[in-house]
Amino acid sequence: MPEISPLQKARAAYQPRLPKILAENGPFAQAKLGEPTHSVADQEAIRKLFPDTYGLPAIDFVPGAPVATSPIRAGVILSGGQAPGGHNVIAGLYDGLKKLNGENQLFGFLGGPSGLIEDKSLLLTDEIIDSYRNTGGFDMICSGRTKLETEEQFQKVMETCKRHGITAIVIIGGDDSNTNACTLAQYLVGQKAGIQVIGCPKTIDGDLKNKWIEVSFGFDTATKVYSELIGNIMRDANSARKYWHFIKLMGRSASHIALECALQTHPQACIVSEEVAAKKYSLKQIVDQLTGIVVERARRSLNFGVVLIPEGLIEFIPEIQTLIAELNDLLAKNQAAFDALTDLEAKVAFVEERLTPAHQEAFRPLPAAIKAQLVGDRDPHGNVQVSKIETEKMLAEMIEANIRALNATEPKKLKFSSQCHFFGYEGRCAAPSNFDANYCYSLGYTASALIAAGKTGYMASCRNISQPIDQWVAGGIPLTMMMNMEHRHGKDVPVIKKALVDLEGKPFQTLAANREAWAKGVEFRYPGPIQYFGPAEVCDQPTQTLALEHL
Ligand code: FBP
């Protein structure tokens, strides 16, 4: 048994709180059905694809009396990237199921969706659950990125469930995994399999949210960890006064993480990919804007600052987006000749001379290391590994080149020295904040109540979560309600709409209203480390994003 720290011990004893309706009624709360629902767009197409699960009513839980139920077996998987609080979803689900009937059993399928397909599971016990309460990570049953999407896979999932007598599966995942949960639910109803499917909204990226799902779990903790680290770096920058720190923050696509961290810490600049796309900023424009901030400060001897960069930026810059598409095509068409080259420089030259003139123009000014990453690092399908491109270094190097050019004529030489960082894994498995510990436990518990109510094709939801927990509203949202049709990999497919940063929304507007002052001054804000014990104003604050969106 590994030694546990005093904080681990204290956290293990923490009892997460539940919304009032579940605290008072347990999983016996009754499902009150609302009006029939519609998908967010493309109603006819979605209705056709989900004939049995389309239009289900949204659910709010209301008081209900305990009833005796026969024992059930349920399964749970964690899908996709780790997010703080996953273990508490499982603990909430487990406690809810056991409260319904002490004989109920919960199987954790191992390594994500592939565990369900390949039938690899672990029967969860009190001892296992207790040792993971309020801990970060997904290591209780591990996660994976296998996509559950083909009919053959669905068939295997059904066989796995039948083999164990499982009649309900809970899928804890992001937009893709819940899209697949929606398709699986329809498949199982169509097969009259008698197996329910319930989803739970997970991702640190914060891009699985809508009118009914106010935030995905993990966003709160992860952004608090990153904000603490950024605050620490700010203090260092302000103490040494010699470095510009370029900090890339996880968030594969949307910029919610970078934006939230900016609202928490007040950096000199925070790039928001959605704004870059909307205003069609070129890479040169972005670099020039940042250079402007650096130069303006350097002339006042403020040779330091912090720039936040969202991980997905590169794909939102119009000319880089099309450059990457052309590179993928070009390399697919010339694979043999390209692979025959052993030298990276030769590979770069090979690509450069075959690009169309517009893309040559976009490619040429890139730093050598970035060119090498663009042509060198390919995924198994031969595509550019966009998430591995070191955008933070790219921007720092390009700004440095600008400053060098300016210094040729500048009477008093401008100083610029940079440090680069990438924060992602540092926060994905942190011990969940009180918010995430409570939210995740409540989501899992809500899932058990949805199972008890015999529902399928729903996502567990807790709303009004910017308020104290006794005002949270527990319920279920039909997965079909969040779907629309999107063109992906050459065909129209039903998917849960990803939530990008809304440029009209209050979080972005708050950044926009303050960024000029933050760029010029030293208005750093230091959130400090997550506090688990102490006064509510220190321990229980929701993210600024959630507060601004819902106040
Ligand atoms: P999910 O969307 O699955 O929650 O994962 C989010 C994320 O943390 C992204 O922010 C990041 O780009 C990605 O996972 C990295 O995943 P991996 O470690 O599997 O490469």
- Give DSSP secondary structure letters for 100-113: H-TT-EEEEETTTH
388 close to 373: Cβ distance less than 8 angstroms: yes
Task: In whole angstroms, give the CA distance from residue 525 to residue 529.
Answer: 13
Q: Which of 422, 423, 425, 387 is nearest to 137 (CA)?
A: 425
Which has more confidence, 331 or 43?
A: 43
- Is the pLDDT at 383 greater than 80? The verdict is no
Residue 203 Cβ inside 6 Å of ligand 1? The answer reads: yes
What spacing in Å lies between the alpha carbon of 372 and ligand 1's midpoint? 23
Cα Rg for the chain, rounded, in angstroms?
25
Task: In whole angstroms, give the CA distance from residue 416 to residue 413.
Answer: 10
Task: In whole angstroms, give the CA distance from residue 18 to residue 16.
Answer: 7
As a whole number, mean pLDDT of residues 423-449 equals 98
Q: Which atom of ligand 1 is nearest to the CA of 387?
A: 12
Burial category of 281 from C-beta neighbours within 10 Å (exposed 0-12, middle 13-18, buried 19 and up): buried
DSSP alpha helix (H) spans, 301-428? 318-333, 335-340, 344-354, 357-363, 368-376, 391-407, 425-428
Residue 251 Cβ inside 6 Å of ligand 1? The answer reads: yes
Side chain identity at residue 451, one-letter code: I
Residue identifier of the C-alpha nearest atom 7 of ligand 1: 81
Side chain identity at residue 456, one-letter code: T
Task: In whole angstroms, give the CA distance from residue 193 to residue 176.
Answer: 23
Side chain identity at residue 407, one-letter code: N
Burial category of 219 from C-beta neighbours within 10 Å (exposed 0-12, middle 13-18, buried 19 and up): buried
Which residue matches tokens 């990008």? Answer: 500
Q: Is 205 a catalytic residue?
A: yes
Q: Which atom of ligand 1 is nearest to the CA of 252?
A: 12
- The three-state (H, E, C) secondary structure of 192-252, written as one string: CCCCEEEEEEECCCCCCCCCCCCCCECHHHHHHHHHHHHHHHHHHHHHHCCCEEEEEECCC
- pLDDT > 70 in the chain, percent: 99
- Is the pLDDT at 1 greater than 80? The verdict is no
Element (H, E) at 35: strand 30-36
What pLDDT does residue 487 have?
87
Task: In whole angstroms, give the CA distance from residue 427 to residue 431.
Answer: 9
Residue 27 Cβ inside 6 Å of ligand 1? The answer reads: no
What pLDDT does residue 68 have?
86
3 state SS of 282: coil
Q: Which atom of ligand 1 is nearest to the CA of 83?
A: 4
The whole model's pTM is what?
0.96
Residue identifier of the C-alpha nearest atom 1 of ligand 1: 81
Q: Counting every residue, how long is the chain?
A: 551
What spacing in Å lies between the alpha carbon of 422 and ligand 1's midpoint? 13
What pLDDT does residue 200 have?
98
Task: In whole angstroms, give the CA distance from residue 359 to residue 364.
Answer: 8
For the chain, first and last CA: distance in Å? 46
What spacing in Å lies between the alpha carbon of 219 and ligand 1's midpoint? 12
As a whole number, mean pLDDT of residues 57-63 equals 97
Number of H helices, E strands in the chain: 23, 16
As a whole number, mean pLDDT of residues 351-371 equals 91
Residue identifier of the C-alpha nearest atom 19 of ligand 1: 81
What pLDDT does residue 2 have?
84
311 close to 424: Cβ distance less than 8 angstroms: yes
What pLDDT does residue 269 have?
98
As a whole number, mean pLDDT of residues 398-415 equals 95
What pLDDT does residue 373 have?
87
253 close to 387: Cβ distance less than 8 angstroms: no
- Is the pLDDT at 28 greater than 80? The verdict is yes
* Dihedral Cα 531, 533, 537, 543, nearest 10 deg: 40
What pLDDT does residue 488 have?
81
- Is the pLDDT at 489 greater than 80? The verdict is no
